[in-house]
Amino acid sequence: MVGKTEVNIYIGTTSIYTCLGNKFETLAAMNRGRGGLSFNKQFSMFTGSLEVEMMETYTRFESLMIDQLIEVLSRTNIKLSDPSVQLIISTTKGNVELLEEDVDHPSERTFLYTSAELVAARFSASNPPIVISNACISGVSSFVVARELLLSGRFNHAVVVGCDVLSEFITSGFASFKSISEKPCRPYDAQRDGLSLGEACGAVVLTTDISRAVSPYIRLAGGAITNDANHISAPSRTGDGLFYAIRSAMAEAGLSADDIGFVNSHGTATRYNDEMESKALALSGLNTKPLNSLKGHIGHTLGASGVVETVLAIEQLRQGYIVGTYGFKESDLPHPIAISSGKQKITKACCVKTASGFGGCNAAIVLEGSDSAKLTTENHNILPQKVNVVAKYTLPQSDKAFADYIRVEFKQLGESNLKFYKMSDMSKALYIAVERLLAIEGFSEIEPTRRAIILANRSASIDSDIAHQQIVSQRLPEGPSPAVFVYTLANVSAGEMCIRHKIQGDNTFFIENRDSGLAEDYARLLIARDRADAVICGWCEYLKGEWNVDLKLLKKIYD
Amino acid sequence: MEQLIGELKEHLIEELNLEEITPEDIDSEAPLFRDGLGLDSIDALEIILILEKYYGIKLSNSAEAKPIFYSVKTLAEYIMKNRK
């Protein structure tokens, strides 16, 4: 459990596929100030859609990932069959479009892990893949998780792949939130009226071996995940959560605002997201740094966005100038930020990449270029922290139907939280289990940013996915229900717990096919590396009336 | 109007999952958001769906929605004027 000191994480080979083409085509188009969004008749909105060369026996989603993995792996000697290499997959909805075929009986392939295993098997991967489904921060989250695993010394290399494809499931859900722009989206612009969706895939090799890194060297120097603990869908009004993520990632990297050349933000172009980011950037002292959002060029590509935009940030660091923010003309933000409207030279070789998403989550990573004066060997893990399991709780099984069972459990808590009844069934099960867990030992003495929640399950949010798809398939004139759609992301259940128990630290949701102990393992790493003082961790499964919620509370031992 | 208010309360309870709340518990003139029923931005979107589903009213501008969504009474008045 003791992480190695003197480990650096370098960027190896990278590849992306966006609506503007491959990596160099996308970058060239962006450099020329061109965008790739076009009107999509099927979904009646502007999207960044892909032509996909399908692979026999694989779905569109899987074909894209395999293609990008072939791209990055063919240009390095790092192989997934090597036990020191870990594959990490970032996606929000995977093959969810398969639900359209038979909504009541979701096929095996709609389970994210089934799909991940098929992709891993294609490359004879030695280790089971790690799947992260953390809403719109999934891609950036994957880099944070990869960084922690590499620093722990368990692996020498990680291959991160991020992918999402569009379907009516997704487009109608975002439409129900009234968050889709009438025109191609315009991040940070005074006229912005919502986001544009896109599909994309990207892959990145990360390595601790400099001889495997790609020159000019870029280091993944820091990363952090936080939660607003405020609302499951509305961006924070203060920007605190994103600020904490940026602050923590920069502290990890040992860098200050002066060292940062530019910020590549989330910049979805919804009114409230962009406002929130301007506040967070002001708090971080980064509001004078050149900033761009790539959503106007390629759309919001969900679980792919953090990976694809990070690859493009790496390329911008390498070329020494950044691209503009397509669609941006004039800002009306409460806190002025230095939004780049065209090509712009950068003077410092470091970049901060951020993302924020449903469930109240935020993520930030720091990329450090090789001509940075500070590029030195990292010294972390000054003292490994000791971990104690202070409470355990398993939600009992019952002969009663879930609705009746959970109502009785909730009544026994003797409180009147009207929000409880609005939650998805998985969130309700988790709610009760967390209340009981914290009744054994609470964590009121722990500062909110030092509290974390790390969960895993098999079905992600398929129970809510079925409910949403059933509504979508009815083609109601008024459209689907946002209150159902919001729960079609597994991490939103964790987000509910963050609100309830003021958890503002790490919140990561892993998908596995059985409880391998990954969530607890990762929770222990966070404490061992002094990134959290208390972590709720474990398994949180709910599907079609059956549940399995098995939690632990870990705390740092103070010597 | 009284009948519409009663019906609207039923729809709100049903569509917003306001369990444990009866129509009598909802004060027609009290603010719907924040205090009282503790409704939030997702509930506001659901109320837009209620207007369309039961009263054929399309409302897409959220700035316009604020005064209309103030209370059950203001909602009912808006429906009276605009229902199809």
User: What confidence score (pLDDT) does residue B52 get?
Assistant: 93
Question: What is the chain A residue with the closest CA to B57?
Answer: A478
Interior/surface letters A302-324, b for 16+ CB within 10 angstroms, e for the rest: bbbbbbbbbbbbbbbbbeebbbb
Residue A523 makes CB contacts below 8 A (sequence gap 6+) with A452, A454, A532, A535, A537, A552, A554
User: What confidence score (pLDDT) does residue B60 get?
Assistant: 66
Mean pLDDT, chain A cut into blocks of 10 residues (559 residues total) = 68 98 98 97 98 96 98 97 98 97 93 98 98 98 97 96 98 96 98 98 97 94 98 95 98 95 98 97 97 98 98 97 97 94 95 98 95 54 76 98 96 90 97 98 96 98 98 94 98 98 98 96 95 97 98 91
Q: Which amino acid is at A468?
A: H
The label of the residue with tokens 């965008």 reads A35
Q: Where are the domains of chain A?
A: 10-369, 386-557
From CA A332, how far away is CA A147, in angstroms rounded?
36
3-state SS class at A161 = strand
Contact A233 B41 (CB under 8 A): yes
Flag whether pLDDT at B62 surpasses 80. no
Nearest to B41 among A234, A418, A477 (CB): A234
Task: Look at B84 and A544; give whichever has higher pLDDT.
Answer: A544
Nearest to B46 among A231, A234, A482 (CB): A482
User: What confidence score (pLDDT) does residue B66 get?
Assistant: 86
Tokens standing for residue B79: 């429906």
Q: Decide: A279 and A318 in contact? Cβ < 8 Å.
A: no
Residue A482 forms contact with B (CB below 8 Å): yes
CA A223 to chain centre: 12
Contact A483 B16 (CB under 8 A): yes
From CA A406, how far away is CA A428, in angstroms rounded?
7
Q: In chain A, which residues have their Cβ closer than 8 Å to the Cβ of B49?
A: 176, 478-479, 481
**How far from A273 is each of A41, A197, A250, A265, A270, CA to CA, in Å?**
27, 15, 22, 11, 5
3-state SS class at A357 = strand
Integer-rounded Cα Rg, in Å, for chain B is: 12
CATH 3.40.47.10 fits A10-369, yes or no: yes
Helix H or strand E encompassing A197 = strand A197-198
Q: How far is B55 from chain A (nearest CA, A)?
A: 11
User: What confidence score (pLDDT) does residue A499 get?
Assistant: 97
CATH code for the domain defined by A386-557 = 3.40.47.10
From CA A26, how far away is CA A297, in angstroms rounded?
9
Contact B21 A418 (CB under 8 A): yes
Residues 10-69 (B) with a CB less than 8 A from some CB of A: 16-21, 37-38, 40-43, 45-46, 48-49, 52-53, 60, 62
- Under 8 Å CB pairs connecting chains A and B tally to 47
Q: In chain A, which residues have their Cβ closer than 8 Å to the Cβ of B16?
A: 422, 483
Q: Decide: A358 and A177 in contact? Cβ < 8 Å.
A: no
Question: What is the chain B residue with the closest CA to A485?
Answer: B42
User: What confidence score (pLDDT) does residue A168 get?
Assistant: 97
Whether A10-369 and A386-557 share one fold: the answer is: yes
Question: What is the chain B residue with the closest CA to A477?
Answer: B53
Q: Decide: A173 and A488 in contact? Cβ < 8 Å.
A: yes
Which overall architecture, per CATH, does domain B2-82 show? Orthogonal Bundle (1.10)
- pLDDT exceeding 70 applies to what percent of chain B? 96
Contact B19 A421 (CB under 8 A): yes
Contact A418 B20 (CB under 8 A): yes
From CA A86, how far away is CA A128, in angstroms rounded?
8
User: What confidence score (pLDDT) does residue A384 get?
Assistant: 66
Before A106, cis peptide (omega within 30)?
A: no
Residue A38 makes CB contacts below 8 A (sequence gap 6+) with A19, A46, A47, A48, A49
From CA A303, how far away is CA A203, in angstroms rounded?
12
CA A167 to chain centre: 19
Q: In chain A, which residues have their Cβ closer than 8 Å to the Cβ of B62?
A: 178
Q: Is A1 exposed, middle or buried (0-12, 13-18, 19+ CB in 10 A)?
A: middle
From CA A231, how far away is CA B39, in angstroms rounded?
12
Which candidate, A114, A129, A115, places its Cα nearest to that of A81? A129
Q: Which amino acid is at A508?
A: T
Q: Decide: A175 and A45 in contact? Cβ < 8 Å.
A: yes
From CA A230, how far away is CA B16, in angstroms rounded?
20
DSSP secondary structure letters along A448-462: GGGEEEEEEESSTTH
The label of the residue with tokens 């295993």 reads A117
Integer-rounded Cα Rg, in Å, for chain A is: 22
Tokens standing for residue A553: 């509370």
**pLDDT category, B34, cuts 50, 70, 90?**
confident
Q: How far is A176 from chain B (nearest CA, A)?
A: 8
Q: In chain B, which residues have their Cβ closer than 8 Å to the Cβ of A234?
A: 40-41
User: What confidence score (pLDDT) does residue A559 get?
Assistant: 66
3-state SS class at A258 = helix
Interior/surface letters A224-245, b for 16+ CB within 10 angstroms, e for the rest: bbbbbbbbbbbbbeebbbbbbb
Contact A483 B20 (CB under 8 A): no
Average pLDDT over residues B53-79: 88
Q: In chain A, which residues have their Cβ closer than 8 Å to the Cβ of B46?
A: 481-483
From CA A506, how far away is CA A223, in angstroms rounded?
11
Question: What is the chain A residue with the closest CA to B50?
Answer: A478
Average pLDDT over residues B53-80: 89
Residue A21 forms contact with B (CB below 8 Å): no
